[in-house]
């Protein structure tokens, strides 16, 4: 599919306003694996005829990793700069594929002057599927879902990802630790940007072992950092050939007619 991506500046130049701002996030913009997820999500939006725009080069890190290390200065610099841009474009609704961007935009920007309706891409995808806005072809398969901390525990989103899987007529295999007890992939709190502290085993390896135990051939995630970590866990345990990690957007895009 040929993607027709427009920026907020493009819309503004024509005096138009998109329904959603798609906040791509740094991983979605720069990480080669996650770029595929970004493109898959855009294909779905385009197919479902959702009007959306991206900020393009005007987008900047939300500041989440800085805040979680304790670097409040850097976080607030990023937040206030971003809020200035978002408010300039009078953004009302934001959709993002990153639970960390999602949490920061939704929960942490309001107190600094940036209040928007923020949804995670799994919420939008579940809604589009439910409303029949996306036609899908069924392909039964067993699939596990790895709950992201910032989606589940952080924001109570447990159902939307599971609804997507059931809407696609796939069989969900719950992992040993799931939902409120979902085991972290090990990336959060800016861990992904440094070497882990001394320990017996990498967190992502422990999480991956649960996925291996579950016997699935495919595990769905909904976070770019979970993607990195679970893939790393599979590589380290030598299961990268027989278990595939996919974002839920990719799953929907693949099933799309």
Q: Which of residues 164-183 bind other proteins (CB under 8 A)?
A: 180-181, 183
Binding mask 136-165 for other proteins (x = CB under 8 A): -------------xx--xxxx---------
Name the one range near other proteins by CB under 8 A: 14-22, 165-173, 200-208, 236-244.
200-208
Cα–Cα distance measured from residue 36 to residue 245, given in angstroms and rounded to the nearest whole number: 12
Closest CA to 224 of 150, 142, 116: 150
Closest distance to other proteins from the beta carbon of 124 (Å): 19
Q: How many residues bind other proteins (CB under 8 A)?
A: 67
Would you count residue 71 as binding other proteins (CB under 8 A)?
yes
Closest CA to 37 of 192, 254, 212, 187: 254
What b-and-e string marks burial along 133-157, b requiring 16 or more CB atoms within 10 Å of the CB? ebebeeeeeebbbbbbbbbbbbbeb
Burial grade of 15 (CB within 10 A; 0-12, 13-18, 19 or more): exposed
Closest distance to other proteins from the beta carbon of 157 (Å): 11
Cα–Cα distance measured from residue 210 to residue 201, given in angstroms and rounded to the nearest whole number: 14
Q: How far is CA 175 from CA 162, 181, 188, in A?
A: 12, 10, 20
Would you count residue 63 as binding other proteins (CB under 8 A)?
yes
Beta bridge partners, 20, equal 52
Name the one range near other proteins by CB under 8 A: 32-40, 85-93, 166-174, 215-223.
32-40
Indicate which single residue of 22, 52, 67, 96 sits in contact with other proteins (rule: CB under 8 A): 67
For strands 52-53 and 244-247, give the pairing. unpaired
Instruction: Identify which of residues 140 and 194 has a Cβ nearer to other proteins in the complex.
Output: 194
32 Cβ neighbours under 8 A, 6+ residues apart? none
Would you count residue 85 as binding other proteins (CB under 8 A)?
no
Would you count residue 88 as binding other proteins (CB under 8 A)?
no
Indicate which single residue of 11, 12, 29, 127 sits in contact with other proteins (rule: CB under 8 A): 29
Indicate which single residue of 14, 140, 195, 241 sits in contact with other proteins (rule: CB under 8 A): 195
Q: How far is CA 45 from CA 13, 36, 105, 109, 115, in A?
A: 22, 14, 21, 25, 24
Binding mask 90-119 for other proteins (x = CB under 8 A): -------------x---xx--xx-------
Q: Which residues here bind other proteins, judged by CB under 8 A? A: 3, 5, 7, 24, 26, 28-30, 35, 38-39, 54, 56-57, 59-61, 63, 65-74, 76-78, 80-81, 103, 107-108, 111-112, 149-150, 153-156, 180-181, 183-184, 186-191, 193-203, 206-207
């Amino acid at each position: 599919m040929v993607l027709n991506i427009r920026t907020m500046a493009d819309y503004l130049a024509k005096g138009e306003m998109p329904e959603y701002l798609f906040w791509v996030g740094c991983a979605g913009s720069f990480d080669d694996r996650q770029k595929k997820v970004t493109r898959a999500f855009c294909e779905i939006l385009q197919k479902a005829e959702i009007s959306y725009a991206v900020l393009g080069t005007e987008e900047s890190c939300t500041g989440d990793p800085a805040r979680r290390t304790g670097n409040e200065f850097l976080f607030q610099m990023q937040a206030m700069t971003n809020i200035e841009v978002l408010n300039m474009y009078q953004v009302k609704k934001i959709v993002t594929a990153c639970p960390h961007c999602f949490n920061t935009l939704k929960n942490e920007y309001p107190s600094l002057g940036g209040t928007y309706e923020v949804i995670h891409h799994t919420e939008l995808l579940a809604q589009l599927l439910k409303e029949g806005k996306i036609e899908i072809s069924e392909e039964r398969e067993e699939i596990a879902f790895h709950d992201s901390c910032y989606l589940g525990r952080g924001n109570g989103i447990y159902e939307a990802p599971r609804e997507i899987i059931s809407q696609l007529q796939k069989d969900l295999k719950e992992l040993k630790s799931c939902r409120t007890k979902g085991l972290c992939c090990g990336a959060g709190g800016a861990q992904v940007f440094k070497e882990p502290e001394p320990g017996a085993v990498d967190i992502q390896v422990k999480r991956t072992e649960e996925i291996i135990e579950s016997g699935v051939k495919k595990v769905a995630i909904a976070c770019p950092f979970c993607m990195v970590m679970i893939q790393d866990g599979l590589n380290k345990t030598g299961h990268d050939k027989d278990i595939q990690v996919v974002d839920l957007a990719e799953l929907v895009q693949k099933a799309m007619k």
